[in-house]
Amino acid sequence: MKAIELYKKLPKKNCGVCRQKACMPFALSVIKGEAELSDCPLLSASEIDDLTGKITLADWREDLIRSLREKISHINLWEISRDLGGRMQEDMLIMPCLGREFEISSDGEIRSSGHITPWTKILLLHYINTQGKAHLCGKWVSYGELKSGMVKASSFLRDCEDPLKELFDTDIRKTTAALEKLGAVRSSEFPTAHAWELYLLPKMPVIVLYWPEEDEFPSKVKILFDKTADRFLDAESIMFLLEGLVKNIEMLR
């Protein structure tokens, strides 16, 4: 079963409850492995069981992981480890990410204690392949101010900042707890009581800012980056990184 066939089996109510907000993009996300059938509140358990066995996943992630691993096999990990904020242990690159340490071998294989999601693998492999070099400058900028970020700024708002805002709006306590489980630390340097600094990777810190609804002002989320962020990941990968952060927060809530 492919996306259009799955769509025909869905309730087609476009109820707006799932993250995709409508049934056709939801069907596409399920086929891509980016959403679960259980995310649809209108599907019964028996319908989910019936559809699960009929879905043909187009798992682009594994193809991308294989491609990125092949590229890493041509990189000297010893030479780039310090620039990326990692360290070498024997022949393995040790890279911290969201409070965990990952071991990356010279052929791009990734190991860690506990489950490793495809999102984490792609993120780490992209980060290593970019081979970025820069000292964090401590100047915070919006996504649109990064190289090529302006072109994708509206997508970043739609796919990253707005979904995170919805999580805060729904339950600020659980969302805060999930952020802090991932290593976020509160900051008092910004004009809101709800501000956190979080290192997604050693050279990829972000600031998460949340303003709750107040009087006539709607709630808002803003995500800021160190000005050097585009030295370590391109705009597309940075968006992918933050989409993954939102999904991690959803799972931890």
Residue 95 lies in a domain: yes
Helix orientation angle between 172-181 and 235-252, rounded to the nearest 10 degrees: 120
Residue 135 lies in a domain: no
197 and 244 in a single domain? The answer is: yes
Q: Which amino acid is at 125?
A: L
95 and 28 in a single domain? The answer is: no
108 and 183 in a single domain? The answer is: no
- pLDDT value of position 57: 65
Domain range for 178: 140-252
Give the C-alpha separation, 237 to 75, whole Å.
19
Give the Å distances, CA to CA, from 159 to 43, 65, 207. Answer: 24, 22, 17
Q: Helix or strand or coil: residue 23?
A: helix
What's the token pair of residue 100? 């965990």
Residue 82 lies in a domain: yes
Give the C-alpha separation, 192 to 207, whole Å.
12
The total domain count for the chain is: 3
Global confidence as pTM: 0.76
114 and 205 in a single domain? The answer is: no
What's the token pair of residue 49? 């069981």
The sign of the dihedral angle between the CA atoms of 8, 14, 16, 21 is positive
- pLDDT tens, the chain, 253 aa long: 778 888 889 999 999 888 888 898 888 888 877 788 998 999 999 999 899 888 876 667 888 999 999 999 999 999 999 999 999 999 999 999 877 899 999 999 999 988 888 888 988 999 999 999 999 999 999 999 999 999 999 999 999 999 999 999 999 999 999 999 999 999 999 999 999 999 999 999 999 999 999 988 999 999 999 999 999 999 999 998 899 899 889 888 8
